[in-house]
Amino acid sequence: MTGAAALGLVGFLLAQAPRARTEAVSEPAIGARTEARDVSKKPWEPRSIHGPASRAVFELNFQPVRDVPPYRIAGLGRYDRTEMDAETLLGDVLFHAPALLGPRSSWFGLSCATCHPGGAAHNTLFVEASSDRKGNVDLLSAYFYVEADDGVFAPRNISSLRGCAQSAPYRRDGAVAELSQANALVVRHEFQQRDVPAAWLAALDAYVARFELLPNARVDALGRLTAAASDDARAGERVFDGAGCAGCH
pLDDT of residue 10: 56
Show the 3-state SS of 46-72. CCECCCCCCHHHHHHHCCCCCCCCCCC
pLDDT at 18: 42
Question: 128-148: string of b/e by CB count within 10 Å (b at 16+)?
Answer: eebbeeebbbbbbbbbbbeeb
Q: What pLDDT, on the 0 to 100 scale, is given for residue 1? A: 57
- The pLDDT value recorded for residue 100 is 94
3-state SS string over 110-165?
CCHHHHCHHHCCCCCCCCCCCCCCCCEECCCCCCCCHHHCCCCCCCEECCCCCCHH
Tens of pLDDT, residues 173-227: 888 999 999 999 999 999 999 999 999 999 999 999 999 988 888 988 777 899 9
Q: What is the pLDDT of residue 186?
A: 95
Give me the pLDDT at residue 73, please: 93
Number of Cβ within a 10 Å radius of residue 162: 20
- Is residue 141 within 8 A of residue 51, CB to CB? The reply is no
The b-or-e profile of 192-227 (16+ CB within 10 A means b, else e) is bbeebeeebbebbbbbbbbbbbeeeeeeeeeeeeee
Please give the Cα distance from 192 to 241 (Å, whole number).
40
What is the number of residues in the chain?
249
pLDDT number for residue 110? 86
Cβ proximity of 44 and 104 under 8 Å: yes
What is the pLDDT at residue 208?
97
CA atoms within 13 A on the CB side of 3: 0
CA distance linking residue 19 with residue 6, whole number of Å: 24
Residue 211 gets which letter from DSSP? B
CA distance 25 to 21: 7
Q: What's residue 216's pLDDT?
A: 85
pLDDT of residue 155: 93
Going residue by residue through the chain, which has 249 residues, state the pLDDT in tens, using 9 for 90 and above.
555 555 566 566 555 544 433 333 233 333 333 445 554 555 556 666 455 545 555 556 555 554 567 789 999 988 889 999 999 999 999 999 999 999 888 877 889 998 999 999 998 888 877 899 989 999 998 888 888 999 999 999 999 999 999 888 998 888 899 999 999 999 999 999 999 999 999 999 999 999 998 888 898 877 789 999 999 999 999 999 899 887 777
Q: 31 exposed, middle or buried (CB, 10 Å; 0-12, 13-18, 19+)?
A: exposed
Whether this prediction's pTM lies above 0.85 is answered by no
